[in-house]
Chains A and B, each alone.
Chain A
Amino acid sequence: MAILTVASLKKRFGGLVAVNGVDYSFPSGEISAVIGPNGAGKTTFFNLITGIYVPDGGRIELDGKSLVRVKPHVIAKLGIARTFQNIRLFGSMSVLENVMVGMHIHLKSGTPGTILGWGKVRHEEQEARRKAYRLLQYVGLERHFNEEASSLPYGAQRKLEVARALAVQPKVLLLDEPAAGMNPRETAELTALIRRMQRELELTIILIEHDMKLVMQLAEHILVLDHGEKIAEGGPAAIRNNPKVIEAYLGKNAVEEGVMA
């Protein structure tokens, strides 16, 4: 069953058509991947889903509910959380606070209650700190909870983005190049983490990734974009042998020489 559906989705930047009539349905509770060469429109695709860009045409639906022209913070409330290709942490805040920002929509304290320091507010804050710490344990960052987010090493920053997105308690988690800049060991840990999240948290995970090994290991469904258009979709095996995909990545000659086969 599809949880997230896009239909003839379109986005133009001046003369450049970044996403051009893409149709796809992401199955619920499974891991899907969006791949394609640089500049294929993958991140734009994510930005359309999360409301950062308004599409020029087409539909986006989460559980049958349209997300077009819905503000990004409302989309988070509806159940989509994401990480960013160029890390966007709250750098000068502590690691724990970063995760607590992710919990924003699940906390209820208002301004008057905060100033008066009602017991309820204090209790909620205390619970939020505990929960944030558990999330850090889940991604393996608990040792760093008091550190400034910007002081973390690169791989840890990516993990923190994942923890922060989990704090939103989403139905759908979008990961934009989660393994970029990671060494093989970190990538292996990340692969395990993504699989664990899907299984244990019953998440629908959609990831953009250039590391083909990771994609082929994890993704049950793959959507291939090139120049903003869908050029292929299917399971890993089918995508690996799809001549159009090989052509998009390696050029026309590669298909004839059968490089990837």
Chain B
Amino acid sequence: MEINSTRERLAGSKSLQAGLLAAFVVVTSGAVYLMDKSVLAFLLLLGSLLLLYYTGFSNGIKWASAGILLLLVIPFAASGGSSHEAYMEVAAQCGIYVAMALGLNIVVGFAGLLDMGFVAFFAVGAYTYGIFATAQANNFIPGSLFPLPGGSFWIFILLGGFMAGIFGILLGLPVLRVKGDYLAIVTLGFGEIIRIIFNNMEKPINITNGAMGLSSIQPPDLFGFKFTFPHQFYFIVIGILAVVIFAVRRLEHSRLGRSWKAVRENEIAAQSMGIPLIRTKLTAFAIGASFSGMMGVVFAAKQTFIDPTSFTLVESTTILVMVVLGGMGSVPGVILGASLVTILNLQVLTELTSALNALSNNGYIGIPTALSPSKMQRLIFGLILILFAIFRPNGLIRARNRKVSLESVAGSGVYPAPAGRAAIRK
């Protein structure tokens, strides 16, 4: 009774929500700023974004607050101690995976095409920049034009997205003849094929430098300012991510988004309504892939080194887990899922491992290294998937249809029931 009335008061009062949220942000960001390294405080600070999602404010205010949190509060709070770069590395990695998961969500969530080789497009983006931003391209293009200067990075973001989109279409053309489980298997195969091609394209002409990978990739350069540290890349990632989220939200409730969902729900009915099946699926593949490709370019520049081992099947399944965990077809869900899985991978598991290591080094407990949490990543993902399939098949935040207001569809006042051709055909 008491709790219910408190909840009602909280739901009703926006100023109360704003006050609590602000207090939460101040406390957690202060903690992140003052403590040298506290994973928990950092997680709680990121969690303020989730709280913001559940507040009752208008979308405009929510986006503005999220922008302030991401662009000002989080970078500032993280800059307090020696773990500055570690925090920002995690945050940048989160952003990269969120964009990729949103891309895969178009394919799996909206269009209902199970793609198990999605990391291939990330690899295409990464190699697009990697090859031309190192001396590698001199091997097959005459003249010593390469590496291209870091200023080209900004064009390569678009180019990487474009190349990945082209690969999406090339891959989709043969693959989309099959459906369901078969599609999953075929895409899995194609994902591996792309990786193996990159692994072997050192002969007869050395294009990708094979298993040796590409090193000393040029850092991005903006009017003489070089991006080398994670806290600098963080802002690039946030910028691209903003564009991706914006595009996804627009697409979801558009003619194209509806045809993706229609194809997912019922192919035959969708066709009979005039939706071209192959082209609709290919657009999903291409747009999803291009998000991944753009982030591939950023990844290559951030790591300054790429090789085929960064693009294995495990990466593909990780992105798929993000989508399934968050909620297939749900944009906020996928953002949450991707952030959680990245943080689990990069912070929680590694922190647990080092904590356990410290304990066993001191002789308190004896845990064999084979059982260290960071090696159990796949086991944990497997368990997450099983548990979600049983208890929460729609994910953390389930996909919902956008409700439209009666006024917006019916016009002002009560519409008289129309009769005749004029009402239907205009």
Write the residues of chain A forming the contact surface with B, with a CB cutoff of 8 angstroms: 50-52, 71-73, 75-77, 81-82, 84, 88-94, 96-97, 100-102, 104-105, 107, 109, 111, 114-115, 117, 121, 125-126, 129-135, 137-138, 142, 145-146, 148, 164, 166-169, 200-202
Contacts and interface: CB of A to CB of B under 8 A. Distances in A.
A134 B266 contact: no
Interface string B263-287: 0011011111111110000010001
Interface of A is mostly: helix
A130 B415 CA distance: 11
B255 A114 contact: yes
A62 to B, nearest CB: 15
Interface stretch (B8-16, B155-163, B401-409): B401-409
B266 A96 contact: no
B261 to A, nearest CB: 6
Contacts of A130: 409-411
Given A101-B259, A137-B415, A138-B423, A94 B275 contact: no
Contacts of A88: 266, 268-269
A77 B272 CA distance: 9
Contacts of B275: 73, 101, 104
25 contacts: A50-B272, A51-B271, A52-B271, A76-B273, A77-B274, A90-B269, A91-B266, A92-B399, A92-B401, A93-B265, A101-B259, A101-B270, A104-B255, A104-B259, A107-B255, A111-B251, A115-B251, A133-B409, A133-B415, A137-B415, A138-B424, A145-B406, A146-B403, A200-B419, A201-B425
A89 B266 contact: yes
A8 B364 CA distance: 86
B385 interface: no
B421 A202 contact: yes
- Interface-central residue, B253, B269, B403, B426, by most chain A CB under 10 Å: B269
Contacts of A201: 421, 424-425
B274 A105 contact: yes
Indicate the member of A52, A75, A96, A114 with the most B CB atoms within 10 Å. A114
A134 B246 CA distance: 30
A84 B269 contact: yes
B371 interface: no
A82 B266 contact: no
A75 B268 CA distance: 13
Given A97-B261, A129-B404, A145-B404, 9 more contacts: A52-B271, A88-B266, A90-B266, A92-B399, A93-B258, A102-B273, A109-B254, A130-B409, A133-B409
Contacts, number: 145
Contacts of B1: none
B18 interface: no
Interface string B228-266: 000000000000000000110011011110110110011
Given A71-B276, A72-B272, A121 B254 contact: yes
7 shortest interchain CB distances as A-B pairs: A76-B274, A90-B265, A133-B409, A105-B274, A88-B269, A72-B271, A94-B401
Nearest to B403: A146
Contacts of B413: none
A88 B270 CA distance: 9
A129 B408 contact: yes
A131 B402 CA distance: 17
A188 to B, nearest CB: 18
B418 interface: yes
Given A73-B274, A73-B277, A93-B261, A111 B268 contact: no
Nearest to B426: A131
A135 B410 CA distance: 11
Contacts of B271: 51-52, 71-73, 76
A104 B271 CA distance: 10
A73 B419 CA distance: 29
A55 B171 CA distance: 31
In this complex, which of B258, B262, B271, B272 has the most chain A Cβ atoms within 10 angstroms of its Cβ? B272
Contact of A129 (B262, B276, B409, B415): B409
B258 A100 contact: yes
A107 B283 CA distance: 17
A200 B421 contact: yes
Contacts of A131: 424, 426
A82 B277 CA distance: 17
Given A81-B272, A114-B250, A97 B266 contact: no
A168 B273 contact: yes
A107 B275 CA distance: 11
Contact of A135 (B255, B256, B266, B424): B424
B420 interface: yes
Contacts of B425: 169, 201
Contacts of B262: 90, 93, 101, 104
B276 A73 contact: yes
Nearest to B406: A145
B269 A115 contact: no
B417 interface: yes
Nearest to A145: B409
A107 B254 CA distance: 10
Interface centre among B254, B255, B277 (most CB of A within 10 A): B255
B258 A104 contact: yes
Nearest to A132: B409
A169 B423 CA distance: 12
Nearest to B399: A92
A114 B256 contact: yes
A100 B255 CA distance: 8
Contact of A93 (B401, B411, B423): B401
B255 A115 contact: no
Contacts of B255: 104, 107, 109, 114, 125
Given A71-B271, A73-B271, A102-B273, A91 B265 contact: yes
A95 to B, nearest CB: 9
B404 A117 contact: no
B84 to A, nearest CB: 35
Contacts of A148: 401
